């Protein structure tokens, strides 16, 4: 039985796509092994959001060659999409696939094993207009399953390379969403997370059909055996009244939204080509919390964007603090060749970026603690995921990590009284 090892860099969408490719190999009788082991085939799903992601991608290619210099190395993902020739020139690479054509991955590596030469399947992603709907064979190795329902982005934020690596918006058909969701529930996943590159744009490419993300949510919730449905990252301006109504009224639809702010000053938001102001964002958050008081709102913030002065950073810090986020993912700005921001004047020094990351993270820790403290003494349902060092941990609907003593079977949902702050979450007791 031939052995294949797969590895992933980058976002949740990339992870889902790797699991889908893994299923294709399982379907064809391959043995899946860890990427640290010798294998006949190595599949590397790359990321191009930062230079670090690209560097790690090259390191993984070289590691595969060291493990078995006769193996077939296939490289796919965003980095492969925008730098196919660069990757093809790396010793050992036999197959290059971008962010499409992954349904052909098994055929391509088998062809590469039989024939000499390089197999480059990267094409112009801007001419791709159909969602690549690959059946899910086998199931992910987690308690929560991630279901990709959308690809592509047309926002063109000035710092982001993703529209150039993923192409235009493409959505999964509702009947396919339902079929995939039903299979995951059948396989005993209690929580499913809908993901996409620009998730809030789901359905826009279905011309004259009036389909939106709310329709995908509703069709998932029609499965009575689904215990929880969660959304991946959304643009704030894409939280429609109907979607908010579903969050408010559907008990199985989790009370958690991840809404990237990216910057807390209007000057930097404009330079980023973000399509809202801080006032717009604050008003939306106020409305969401009025409708769903216990909701968790998490966000992303980039610091050190070109032109961000000390004064503008301080403004961003204060605005983010005022939003009382449950969680903030903080990133230093990373210059990406081919994006408008890469050639902007007043690039920020790396040491300054590092200091600003630290200050934003300090504020984030206090904000997260305040959010957790609000729920001490309350009883919430927790989906348990893993046991480690005598504690089993899981997540509430509003994304609080909860620990209980002892071992709870993975996938169980239990009512837990939240008793005290513990590690990065709350220690509780099962009722």
Pairwise CA distance, residues 344 & 272, whole Å? 11
Widest pairwise Cα distance in the chain = 65
- Mean pLDDT of residues grouped by 10 in the chain (431 residues)? 95 92 95 96 93 89 93 96 94 95 95 94 92 81 87 96 95 97 92 96 94 98 96 93 97 97 98 97 97 98 98 98 98 94 97 98 98 98 94 97 95 95 97 92
Q: pTM for this one?
A: 0.94
Pairwise CA distance, residues 407 & 388, whole Å? 9
- As given in the structure block, the two tokens for residue 10 are 């980058």
Q: Give 347's DSSP letter.
A: P
Structure confidence at residue 139 (pLDDT):
66
Q: How many CA atoms lie within 13 A of 49 on its CB side?
A: 14
Which helix (DSSP H) or strand (DSSP E) does residue 396 occupy? strand 391-396
Pairwise CA distance, residues 316 & 331, whole Å? 13
Structure confidence at residue 141 (pLDDT):
62
SS3 of 405-426: the string is ECCCCCCCEEEEEEEEEECCEE
Domains observed in the chain: 3-123 (3.40.50.12160), 144-373 (3.80.30.20), 379-430 (2.40.50.140)
């Amino acid at each position: 039985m031939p052995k294949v090892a797969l590895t992933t860099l980058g976002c949740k969408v990339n992870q889902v796509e790797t699991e889908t490719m893994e299923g294709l190999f399982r379907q064809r009788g391959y043995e899946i092994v860890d990427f640290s082991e010798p294998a006949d085939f190595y599949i590397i799903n790359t990321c191009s959001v930062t230079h670090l992601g690209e560097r790690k991608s090259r390191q993984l290619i070289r590691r595969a060659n060291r493990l078995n210099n006769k193996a077939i190395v296939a490289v796919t993902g965003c980095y492969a999409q925008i730098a196919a020739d660069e990757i093809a020139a790396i010793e050992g690479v036999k197959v290059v696939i971008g962010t499409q054509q992954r349904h052909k991955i098994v055929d391509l590596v088998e062809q590469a094993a039989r024939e000499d030469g390089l197999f480059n399947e990267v094409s112009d992603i801007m001419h791709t207009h159909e969602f690549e709907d690959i059946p899910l064979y086998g199931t992910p190795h987690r308690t929560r399953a991630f279901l990709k329902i959308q690809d592509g982005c047309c926002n063109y934020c000035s710092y982001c390379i993703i529209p150039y690596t993923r192409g235009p918006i493409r959505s999964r058909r509702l009947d396919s969403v339902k079929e995939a969701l039903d299979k995951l529930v059948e396989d005993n996943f209690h929580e499913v997370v809908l993901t996409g590159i620009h998730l809030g744009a789901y359905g826009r490419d279905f011309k004259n059909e009036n389909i939106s993300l709310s329709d995908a949510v509703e069709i998932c919730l029609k499965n009575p055996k689904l215990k929880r449905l969660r959304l991946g990252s959304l643009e704030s301006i894409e939280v429609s009244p109907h979607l908010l109504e579903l969050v408010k009224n559907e008990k199985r639809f989790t009370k958690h939204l991840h809404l990237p702010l990216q910057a807390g000053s209007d000057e930097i938001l404009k330079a980023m080509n973000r399509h809202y102001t801080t006032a717009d964002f604050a008003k939306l958050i106020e409305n969401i919390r009025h409708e769903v008081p216990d909701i968790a709102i998490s966000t992303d913030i980039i610091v050190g964007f070109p032109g961000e002065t000390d004064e503008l950073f301080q403004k961003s810090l204060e605005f983010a603090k005022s939003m009382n986020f449950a969680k903030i993912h903080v990133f230093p700005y990373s210059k990406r060749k081919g994006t408008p921001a890469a050639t902007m004047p007043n690039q920020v020094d790396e040491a300054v970026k590092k200091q600003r990351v630290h200050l934003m993270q300090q504020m984030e820790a206090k904000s997260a603690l305040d959010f957790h403290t609000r729920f001490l003494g309350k009883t919430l349902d927790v989906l348990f995921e893993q046991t480690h060092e005598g504690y089993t941990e899981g997540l509430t609907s509003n994304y609080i990590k909860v620990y209980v003593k002892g071992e709870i079977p993975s996938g169980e949902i239990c009512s837990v009284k939240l008793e005290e702050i513990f590690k990065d979450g709350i220690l509780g007791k099962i009722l």
